[in-house]
């Protein structure tokens, strides 16, 4: 059964497709025998099943990670560097297959799927290089009788919970840092896109990562109890999550019971600002990349597009013309520029944001609908979106470009910051003074100044306000380490 299911994915290496969880170095089913059905969002057809695991398997995975921790955490950083680089090389070698897996389970186009594999693998490369640079410190003491030294130590077992919008990269951004630091991990991938996670575990085996270091628990129905166990189990020392602000707050509360270290990358509502002095063609290219990447399903997508009065009409016309050339369809089809959303519910949410804005006076320039009962929604542009439109306070997470006109810099800064979240923000201007002023004033963790794409393994990714806690990528290995002070006396 599993091998015929696997061959239906059409991979060159079908053994990358796994239909079981992975605990203590073994591929395992749920103790209950129950399974979850996974669908292709483009066709709504079933692509395979994975185990519906629960509390018992989560505890087993945590225990396995704890058992593997002493040996893994005391390997040399160079050893971990070498294994992570092997994993990086394997991910690159299997880019076509891993990209196809992403397209089949997430819906994004094959070009985007392969692009995600490159992005995902880059975290393994980056953190391999970070593994050997977890320097401590020697701190001069006011007391001549002692010497102060600070060392960094791996924090322990890490719980990793990831979203479906980047089935591979959101895992490696956390797992790469955790493994490099010397931590072991229990991963709960989303039920919509588990296969990329399981393929990473398979490549981890091939790279030589020992049993128990990576564990994967798959669940859908039991997600609350699995999440609670990961957050409340004393053995787990750190939780890293990417997903909605609502769930991030719940996990933060649960993690408080054991005072766990947390990294939470939660929702955004990114402003994208175009000033009169911008290079309009560059601003259009930035808006298209930023807004419609993954069909608008990224936490850093432009959600509110503010355009200054002098260039508003030109920007709206050019953006609409470009969007008209988009073609939605199955991501495996080479002519498709934009795939479906993750499921029909996601398409319904975009529809509700369009209808809400239009009912309050916004104008529909293009798109605005999707075939009923499918996951597809047309790339859409709205103009004259009023301040009270729902999308100004709530992330749309779909292919909806919502334009609002403004007149002054002060006005747009106020509009941009008028939200409880602050993940990413973007603006286009050729005035160097304005570039500094606006970059400093936007209340976000990440700013794109004259660019719509900011994501890279080397930079600190994360938000302020209710967009989360901690930073991933960049020096994010620190989030997986304890800082220990040793004061040497008796000299």
Supply the minimum distance, in Å, between the C-beta of residue 428 and ligand SIN. 19
Name the residue with the smallest CB distance to ligand SIN.
Answer: 455
* Site for ligand SIN contains 299 (CB under 6 A): yes
Q: Could you give the CA distance from residue 367 to residue 362 in angstroms, rounded to a whole number?
A: 13
* Site for ligand SIN contains 300 (CB under 6 A): yes
8 A C-beta contact, residue 251 and residue 361: no
Compute the radius of gyration of the chain from its Cα atoms.
Answer: 23
* Residue among 123 and 376 whose Cβ is closer to ligand SIN: 123
Please return the burial class of 22, using the count of CB atoms within 10 Å of its CB with bins 0-12, 13-18 and 19+: buried
* Ordered strands of the 184-188 beta sheet: 26-28, 21-23, 214-216, 184-188, 157-161, 236-242, 261-265, 468-469
Supply the minimum distance, in Å, between the C-beta of residue 265 and ligand SIN. 6
Q: How would DSSP label each residue in 399-468?
A: SEEEEEEE--HHHHHHHHH-SSEESEEEEE-S-HHHHHHHHHHS-SSEEEES-S----TTS-B--EETTE
* List 60, 269, 298, 467, residue binding ligand SIN (CB under 6 A): 298
Supply the minimum distance, in Å, between the C-beta of residue 126 and ligand SIN. 13
- 299 contact partners, CB below 8 Å, separation of at least 6: 165, 242, 265, 266, 267, 268, 395, 423, 424, 467
Q: How would DSSP label each residue in 460-478?
A: -B--EETTEES-BSTTGGG
Give the total residue count for the chain.
Answer: 491
Interior CA angle at 21 toward 103 and 184, to 5°?
A: 100
Kindly name the residue from 192, 265, 378, 409 that is annotated as catalytic: 265
**Stretch 131-170: interaction string toward ligand SIN, x if CB under 6 A:** ----------------------------------xx----
Q: For residue 137, which phi and psi values (nearest 5 degrees)?
A: -150, 150
**Per CB under 6 A, which region of 36-44, 294-302, 339-347, 444-452 contacts ligand SIN?**
294-302
Between residue 163 and residue 182, which ones bind ligand SIN under the rule CB under 6 A? 165-166
**Stretch 245-274: interaction string toward ligand SIN, x if CB under 6 A:** --------------------x---------
* Site for ligand SIN contains 16 (CB under 6 A): no
Give the closest residue to 263 by CA, choosing from 177, 357, 332: 177
- Which H or E run contains 172? helix 169-181
Please, which residues bridge with residue 366 across strands?
381
* Residue among 298 and 392 whose Cβ is closer to ligand SIN: 298
**Stretch 199-238: interaction string toward ligand SIN, x if CB under 6 A:** ----------------------------------------
In eight-state DSSP terms, residue 295 is: G
* Residue among 36 and 423 whose Cβ is closer to ligand SIN: 423
* Residue among 156 and 468 whose Cβ is closer to ligand SIN: 468
**Stretch 62-91: interaction string toward ligand SIN, x if CB under 6 A:** ------------------------------
Q: Could you give the CA distance from residue 398 to residue 190 in angstroms, rounded to a whole number?
A: 18
Alpha carbon 427 to its chain centroid, in Å, reads 22
Q: For residue 155, which phi and psi values (nearest 5 degrees)?
A: -75, -30
- Strands (E) located in 168-242: 184-188, 214-216, 236-242
Supply the minimum distance, in Å, between the C-beta of residue 191 and ligand SIN. 18
Site size with ligand SIN, rule: CB under 6 A: 8
**Per CB under 6 A, which region of 53-61, 298-306, 360-368, 398-406 contacts ligand SIN?**
298-306
* Site for ligand SIN contains 446 (CB under 6 A): no
* Residue among 298 and 429 whose Cβ is closer to ligand SIN: 298
The sign of the dihedral angle between the CA atoms of 308, 310, 311, 314 is positive
Q: Could you give the CA distance from residue 106 to residue 346 in angstroms, rounded to a whole number?
A: 12
8 A C-beta contact, residue 467 and residue 420: no
* Residue among 251 and 299 whose Cβ is closer to ligand SIN: 299
Supply the minimum distance, in Å, between the C-beta of residue 266 and ligand SIN. 9
* Residue among 166 and 312 whose Cβ is closer to ligand SIN: 166
* Residue among 378 and 395 whose Cβ is closer to ligand SIN: 395
Supply the minimum distance, in Å, between the C-beta of residue 69 and ligand SIN. 28
- Strands (E) located in 52-208: 137-139, 147-154, 157-161, 184-188
**Per CB under 6 A, which region of 83-91, 297-305, 366-374, 443-451 contacts ligand SIN?**
297-305
Supply the minimum distance, in Å, between the C-beta of residue 298 and ligand SIN. 4
- Which H or E run contains 373? none
Q: How would DSSP label each residue in 15-40?
A: GG---SEEETTEEE--TT--EEEEE-
**Per CB under 6 A, which region of 96-104, 296-304, 341-349, 438-446 contacts ligand SIN?**
296-304
Supply the minimum distance, in Å, between the C-beta of residue 259 and ligand SIN. 26
* Residue among 57 and 395 whose Cβ is closer to ligand SIN: 395
Instruction: State yes or no: is 265 an active-site residue.
Output: yes
* Site for ligand SIN contains 242 (CB under 6 A): yes
Residues at the contact surface with ligand SIN, assessed by CB under 6 A = 165-166, 242, 265, 298-300, 455
Kindly list the catalytic residues: 265
């Amino acid at each position: 059964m599993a091998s015929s299911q696997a061959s239906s994915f059409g991979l060159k290496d079908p053994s990358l497709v796994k239909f079981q969880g992975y605990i203590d170095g073994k591929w395992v089913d749920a103790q209950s025998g129950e399974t979850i059905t996974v669908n292709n969002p483009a066709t709504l057809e079933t692509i395979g099943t994975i185990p519906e695991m629960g509390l018992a398997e989560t505890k087993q995975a945590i225990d396995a990670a704890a058992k593997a921790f002493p040996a893994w955490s005391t390997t040399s950083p160079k050893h971990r560097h070498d294994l992570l680089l092997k994993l990086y090389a394997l991910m690159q070698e299997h880019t076509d297959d891993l990209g196809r897996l992403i397209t089949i389970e997430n819906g994004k186009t094959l070009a985007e799927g392969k692009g995600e594999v490159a992005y995902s693998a880059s975290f393994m490369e980056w953190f391999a290089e970070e593994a050997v640079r977890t320097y401590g410190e020697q701190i001069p003491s006011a007391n001549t009788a002692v010497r102060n030294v600070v060392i960094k130590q791996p924090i322990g077992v890490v719980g990793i919970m990831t979203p479906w919008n980047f089935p591979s990269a959101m895992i490696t951004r956390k797992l790469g840092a955790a493994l490099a630091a010397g931590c072991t991990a229990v991963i709960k991938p989303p039920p919509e896109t588990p296969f990329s996670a399981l393929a990473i575990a398979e490549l981890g085996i091939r790279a030589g990562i020992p049993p128990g270091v990576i564990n994967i628990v798959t669940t859908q129905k039991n997600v609350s109890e699995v999440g609670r166990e990961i957050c409340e189990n004393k053995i787990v020392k750190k939780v890293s999550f990417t997903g909605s602000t609502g769930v991030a707050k719940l996990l933060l509360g649960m993690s408080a019971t054991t005072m766990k270290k947390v990294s939470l990358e939660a929702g955004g509502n990114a402003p994208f600002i175009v000033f009169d002095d911008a290079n309009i063609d560059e601003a259009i290219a930035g808006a298209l990349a930023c807004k419609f990447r993954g069909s608008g399903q990224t936490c850093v997508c432009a959600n509110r597009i503010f355009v200054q009065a002098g260039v508003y009409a030109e920007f709206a016309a050019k953006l609409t013309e470009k969007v008209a050339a988009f073609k939605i369809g199955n991501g495996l089809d080479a002519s498709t520029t934009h795939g479906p959303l993750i499921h029909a519910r996601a398409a319904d949410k975009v529809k509700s944001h369009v209808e809400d804005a239009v009912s309050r006076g916004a104008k529909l320039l293009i798109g605005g609908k999707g075939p009923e009962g499918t996951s597809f929604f047309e790339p859409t542009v709205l103009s004259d979106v009023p301040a009270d439109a729902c999308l100004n306070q709530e992330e749309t997470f779909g292919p909806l470009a919502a334009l609002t006109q403004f007149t002054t810099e002060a006005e747009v800064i106020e509009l941009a910051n008028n939200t409880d979240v602050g993940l990413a923000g973007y603006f286009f201007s050729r005035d160097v003074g304005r570039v500094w002023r606006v970059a400093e004033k936007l209340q976000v963790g990440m700013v794109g100044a004259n660019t719509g794409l900011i994501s890279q393994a080397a930079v600190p990714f994360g938000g302020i306000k209710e967009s989360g806690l901690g930073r991933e990528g960049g020096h994010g290995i620190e989030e997986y380490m304890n800082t220990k002070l040793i004061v040497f006396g008796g000299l």
